[in-house]
Amino acid sequence: MVDTNYNVWLLEVNSSPSMEYSSPITEKYVKEGLANLADIAVEQEKCISGAPWNFNVGSKIGKFELIY
């Protein structure tokens, strides 16, 4: 994927993703990702319920960044 500043972003898609801790590194990233995912879900629910979306392009939730 290429954003408006021509930065290239790799989007990963797994047919059978695993949230198992196979190493200390994956344990760290799985825990961080799940925590950030919950924050994103809460913000999305606010938007669906009519509240204004709090994020613009470039906004970040944890390590996730809105690029579109």
User: CA Rg, the chain, in Å?
Assistant: 14
Question: What rounded mean pLDDT belongs to the chain?
Answer: 76
Residues in the chain: 68
34 vs 57: which has the higher pLDDT:
34
pLDDT digits 0-9 by tens, 16-41: 677 788 889 889 888 888 888 777 77
Q: Which tokens belong to 54?
A: 């709090």
Q: Which pLDDT belongs to residue 17?
A: 73
Average pLDDT over residues 7-11: 79
Question: What pLDDT is stored for residue 42 in this prediction?
Answer: 76
Taking residues 38-57, what's their average pLDDT? Answer: 69
On whether residue 6 sits in a domain, the answer given is no
Q: Domain range for residue 40?
A: 24-65
Q: Is residue 2 part of a domain?
A: no
39, 61 in Cβ contact below 8 A? yes
Q: Is residue 12 part of a domain?
A: no
